[in-house]
């Protein structure tokens, strides 16, 4: 079975995180009130991080703490603050801020690290923790291992005169708004453009509308009334049809939607068509080619639409895939020296502009392409032929071995033979539930659906769950 279709490909690629007790591929996440997403653990986590990031020479350092708008963020912010202070490190409190803003501020305020309290696109019942290094990038494995090693120790408090002090960073929002605007240069104007902006009742609610308004757009805001419980509820990038309906109702030029923590973006054109991360990536790459801006190539994932790959190949732009997860996309971008990458889910990374995926900055890059090209978003979208894709989840028993399963390999090869060079097959185990994701792509939607059902039935018959 080719590597791109190896069911255990993700597991191999996450070997570096397999031995960690708490950290996954994107920090620590779970249901509020269930270990480890509890106040006592967060206090200890803050202490452990403070110990790791404390200056060995005794100089006072600072760790920034920001959060999204879910109600449990207040509780965990206080617990983390106490833990960091007990380790003798100062704290800068950012309040509700997009995840990429926390990465940016960690870097520009010269903090030792940044802590994000967020469960991204999940509902309010979940929460989690992400860390950024002093350079605004996700932590390397060795630092995560070091934090976990400290978590095994008993909490101790530094001498009273060395306890960390907390202060609020009052100009955090203004700093980030100005940074976002700076990424499109001084001359870009969105004057005359009517834009619907959906903030998912999340952390962009007081940021994104201001960015687009200050660039000259007429902004219609929705999803900007967080109450601690409504984050991502029927709003934002996980409910794009809500945005599409509003764009059509308002007769807007386009719409932009973010997820709860602001690192994902989807867009909608004036016809109500939803653009995912693949299409946004393609539009940005094509515009950079037009401007003769060097970006090397584009990094996608196993889930990136084949239409993105074929469209970039037609432009002679190199393209490569990684396992699902922006962590792996970023690693590949750095290794290759490329500045564009992302996921179809809406994580788009412009590494020459930001140290992490940033929904607002990615949306601005696509809007800049609209302005530069003098064409509506719908026309730019049509330049990439997104192929029909069908995914079916097949329940399997936990621990089921898939590599080398001859009947499954034969079933995959049979589907690939029918698709030819203009199609693709992917089998990918879920990282969170006993499910194998069976995905088929091709040019004909009916054929893709038929072949996906055929392959799913073959997989289920061989390794389907009996429970």
Alpha-carbon distance of 126 to 366, in angstroms, equals 31
Alpha-carbon distance of 402 to 460, in angstroms, equals 12
Q: Where are the alpha helices (DSSP H) in 297-429?
A: 306-314, 326-336, 359-373, 377-381, 406-419
Question: Which whole-number Å values give the CA distances from 411 to 405, 407, 416, 418, 449, in the listed order?
Answer: 10, 6, 9, 11, 15
Residue carrying structure tokens 């940021």: 207
Alpha-carbon distance of 459 to 467, in angstroms, equals 16
User: Smallest Cα–Cα separation from 431: which of 119, 116, 127, 9?
Assistant: 9
Alpha-carbon distance of 283 to 363, in angstroms, equals 11
The answer to whether 460 and 423 are in contact (CB under 8 A) is no
DSSP designation for 150: H
The sign of the CA dihedral 456, 462, 465, 467 is positive
Interacting residues of 398 by C-beta distance below 8 A, sequence separation 6+: 434
The answer to whether 423 and 448 are in contact (CB under 8 A) is yes
Residue in 13, 118, 120, 133 annotated catalytic = 120
Alpha-carbon distance of 273 to 381, in angstroms, equals 9
CA angle 84, 87, 93 (to 5 degrees): 20
The answer to whether 377 and 318 are in contact (CB under 8 A) is no
The answer to whether 434 and 40 are in contact (CB under 8 A) is no
Q: For residue 20, what are its two tokens?
A: 């960690």
120 assigned to active site: yes
Strand, helix or coil for residue 240: helix
Positions annotated as catalytic residues are 120
């Amino acid at each position: 079975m080719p590597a791109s279709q190896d069911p255990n490909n993700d597991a191999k690629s996450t070997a570096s995180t397999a031995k960690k007790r708490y950290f996954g591929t994107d920090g620590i996440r779970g249901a509020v009130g269930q270990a480890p997403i509890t106040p006592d653990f967060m206090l200890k986590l803050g202490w452990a991080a403070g110990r790791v990031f404390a200056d060995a020479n005794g100089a006072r350092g600072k760790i920034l703490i920001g959060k999204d708008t879910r109600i449990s963020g207040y509780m965990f912010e206080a617990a983390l603050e106490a833990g960091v202070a007990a380790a003798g490190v100062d704290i800068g409190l950012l309040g509700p801020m997009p995840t990429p803003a926390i990465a940016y501020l960690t870097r520009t305020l010269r903090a030792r690290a940044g802590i994000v309290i967020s469960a991204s696109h999940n509902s309010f019942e979940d929460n989690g923790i992400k860390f950024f290094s002093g350079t605004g990038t996700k932590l390397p494995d060795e630092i995560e291992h070091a934090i976990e090693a400290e978590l095994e120790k008993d909490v101790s408090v530094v001498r009273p005169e060395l306890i960390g002090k907390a202060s609020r960073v009052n100009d955090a929002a203004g700093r980030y708004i100005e940074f976002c605007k700076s990424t499109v240069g001084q001359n870009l104007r969105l004057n005359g453009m009517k834009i619907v902006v959906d903030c998912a009742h999340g952390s962009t609610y007081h940021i994104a509308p201001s960015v687009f308004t200050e660039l000259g757009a007429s902004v219609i805001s929705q999803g900007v009334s967080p109450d601690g419980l409504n984050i991502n509820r029927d709003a934002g990038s996980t409910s794009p049809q809500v945005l599409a309906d509003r764009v059509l109702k308002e007769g807007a030029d386009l719409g932009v939607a973010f997820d709860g923590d602001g690192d994902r973006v989807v867009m909608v054109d004036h016809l109500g068509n939803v653009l995912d991360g693949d299409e946004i990536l393609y539009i940005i790459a094509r515009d950079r080619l037009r401007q003769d801006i060097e970006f090397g190539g584009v990094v996608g994932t196993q889930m990136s639409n084949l239409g993105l790959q074929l469209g970039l190949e037609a432009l002679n732009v190199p393209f490569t895939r990684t396992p699902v997860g922006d962590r792996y996309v970023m690693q590949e971008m750095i290794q290759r020296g490329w500045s564009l990458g992302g996921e179809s889910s809406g994580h788009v990374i412009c590494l020459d502009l930001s140290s992490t995926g940033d929904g607002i900055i990615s949306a601005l890059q696509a809007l800049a392409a609209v302005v530069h090209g003098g064409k509506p978003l719908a026309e730019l979208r049509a330049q990439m032929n997104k192929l029909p894709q069908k995914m079916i989840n097949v329940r399997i028993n936990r621990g089921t071995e898939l590599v080398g399963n001859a009947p499954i390999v034969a079933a995959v090869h049979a589907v690939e033979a029918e698709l030819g060079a203009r199609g693709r097959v992917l089998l990918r185990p879920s990282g969170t539930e006993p499910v194998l994701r069976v995905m088929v792509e091709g040019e004909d939607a009916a054929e893709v659906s038929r072949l996906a059902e055929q392959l799913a039935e073959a997989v289920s018959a061989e390794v389907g769950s009996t429970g």
